Amino acid sequence: MFVLTVDQIGSRESDADAVAPILADRTDWRHRGAVLGPDRTAGDEFQLVFDEAGDALDAALHLRRDGRWSVGIGVGDVRLPLAATTGAAQGAAFLAARVAVDAAKRAPHHLAVAGPAERVDDGVSALVGLLLEVRARRSQEGWEVADLLMQGLSQAAIADRLGVTPQAISLRARTAAVRLERDALPALAAALAGLDTPRTLRSSE
């Protein structure tokens, strides 16, 4: 399974509680595939648990988009049945997520992955970092096109909505590396899934 431990960047410099809105939006996180959480684990930190690597990766990228969070992805066993909260849950994935978020705080793009051995996986972390570098260079116009394409709109429909030519939308999509991201995501999810162990701990073990 996949545990995200997420810590606010620069929380000491802000009086705002950035975690509270995350906790209030549980329905959205269920739609994103979370099977447990979000739950606050410290003043400016929270956790989420996912069954699927692709959902965990999507959530991590979503959280990194606004630049406010260091995200650690821990991969490994989680004791079943799941506890009521992440604070009461147990398993190697939670320990790995702690290692990962500590590494993420020092990483250029504030995201790191740790496997069942509780060591940062530099390979997968580096690959996700490359994608985050591409996303960091994306303009506001590029994000607008990327988001609309993710919603299933065609480039022609986007051009009509934005009042520009289809050629302009095609150029924005290429500049934003939308196709590169779309093609890379399944491979990244597969690499993350490859770190997972074949079994999940049961409460009787």
Determine the pLDDT at residue 198.
59
Instruction: Please give the share of the chain, as a percent, with pLDDT higher than 70.
Output: 94
Note the pLDDT tens digit of each residue in 132-180: 999 999 999 999 999 999 999 999 999 999 999 999 999 999 999 999 9
pLDDT tops 60 at residue 205? no
Mean pLDDT of the chain: 92
pLDDT tops 50 at residue 204? no
Q: Two tokens at 147?
A: 């988001």
CB-based contacts of 99, cutoff 8 Å, min separation 6: 72, 74, 114, 118, 119, 120
Question: Among residues 3, 2, 77, which one has the least CA distance to residue 41?
Answer: 3
Q: Two tokens at 2?
A: 């996949």
pLDDT tops 50 at residue 60? yes
Determine the pLDDT at residue 116.
84
> Of 58-67, 99-108, 173-182, 194-203, where does mean pLDDT reach its minimum?
194-203
Instruction: Please give the share of the chain, as a percent, with pLDDT higher than 90.
Output: 86
Fold of the domain built from segment(s) 2-121? Alpha-Beta Plaits (3.30.70)
CB-based contacts of 109, cutoff 8 Å, min separation 6: 64, 128, 129, 132, 133, 136
Q: Where are the domains of the chain?
A: 2-121, 139-176
Q: Please state the rounded mean pLDDT for residues 94-121.
A: 94
Note the pLDDT tens digit of each residue in 3-47: 999 999 987 766 678 899 999 999 999 999 999 999 999 889 999
Contact status, residue 75 vs residue 114, Cβ threshold 8 Å: yes
| Burial of 187 from C-beta contacts in 10 A (0-12 / 13-18 / 19+) | exposed
What Rg, from alpha-carbon coordinates, does the chain have?
18
Determine the pLDDT at residue 10.
83
Contact status, residue 4 vs residue 60, Cβ threshold 8 Å: yes
Determine the pLDDT at residue 202.
47
